[in-house]
Amino acid sequence: MRDLLYRYRLILLLLVLAGLGVLTWLANERSPATGERRGSAWTTALLELVVPVQRAVTAPVDYVRGVWNDYVALVGVREANQALSRDLDLLRDENLKLREALLATERLDAIAETQESVGLPMLPAEVAGLGPSIWYQSVLLDRGTKQGVEPGMPAVTDAGVVGLVTASSPHAAKAMLLLDRQSAIDGMVQRTRARGIVRGQGNDLLVFEYDAREPDVKVGDEVISSGLGGVYPKGLRIGEIVELSPAGRGLLAQARVRPAVDFGRLEQVYVVLWRSPALELLNEGDDVSDVTKPPSVSAAPR
């Protein structure tokens, strides 16, 4: 008997479900006379019996459907996340390019103002690396004599003086920084016009040597190029006085100067295409009268 029931279990289950369906229909049938539903007791009994059976039958189907829907949804979410990640990378690249373009534009605007104030042509050059010697403070530039860069030409940024070109080849040049111990530039306090010499010390600060009888030099004063000496044009920023040394009995007093240029972040410089007439005299044997020529565009190297 058990084997027979097991063999025909699906048929019996279908018959039971069909019978339950008929009974449910009969229970919900309304009386033609009164319109009331018949067999309220049947309804209660059938609800108690049908709901667990239907739940047992539909539970596996609902489970499989839920797993499938969740899987499909997760696949869609993963694809959407990958697309969003690609879009985010593109936006980051575009944002980086826009910021670089903005910084470049700001630098160009600033150097245009500097060029206008100096009145001399300038050539942009990228810093290709540091100088080969650890004993000297210098940088290598990616412009050379083919572009008009020659030794003796100043290198500047929109912030101020960088240094002086000391050597050049057809497509490269080396510039000595203001920080170098051999560097010296004639400067003056912008506020009081007190003159002196700014020297490099091989570290992050410069030394401003001025007349000890000059009392009106203060911390916070800006030091600019005086234009004397014929190497640097007048009015370029050199740095800010950050410390005054105690006055001694000598003829010169000293002050510590923080450079206007951040040499640790130096990426691009502008070479002023002008060379001191004195240097032209020493290197080319020009007439002495050329020494008196002021800095001008016409003095640019040919």
Could you tell me the domains of the chain?
2-67 (no CATH), 122-299 (2.40.10.340)
Greatest mean pLDDT among 130-134, 257-261, 290-294 lies in 257-261
What integer pLDDT is reported at residue 216 of this predicted model?
Answer: 84
What integer pLDDT is reported at residue 299 of this predicted model?
Answer: 36
pLDDT in tens, 97-156: 677 666 666 666 666 666 666 677 889 899 998 887 778 899 999 999 999 999 999 999
Confidence of residue 92 (pLDDT cuts 50, 70, 90): confident
What integer pLDDT is reported at residue 15 of this predicted model?
Answer: 75
Least confident of 7-16, 147-156, 162-171, 279-288: 279-288
Give me the mean pLDDT over the 238-265 stretch.
89
> Residue 69 and residue 67: Cα distance in Å, rounded?
6
> Residue 175 and residue 130: Cα distance in Å, rounded?
10
What integer pLDDT is reported at residue 82 of this predicted model?
Answer: 79
What integer pLDDT is reported at residue 89 of this predicted model?
Answer: 78
Give me the mean pLDDT over the 208-236 stretch.
89
Confidence of residue 69 (pLDDT cuts 50, 70, 90): low
Query: Is residue 35 over pLDDT 60?
Result: no
Confidence of residue 20 (pLDDT cuts 50, 70, 90): low
Closest CA to 278 of 258, 264, 295, 261: 295
Give me the mean pLDDT over the 220-233 stretch.
89
What integer pLDDT is reported at residue 100 of this predicted model?
Answer: 63
What integer pLDDT is reported at residue 26 of this predicted model?
Answer: 59
Query: Is residue 196 over pLDDT 80?
Result: yes
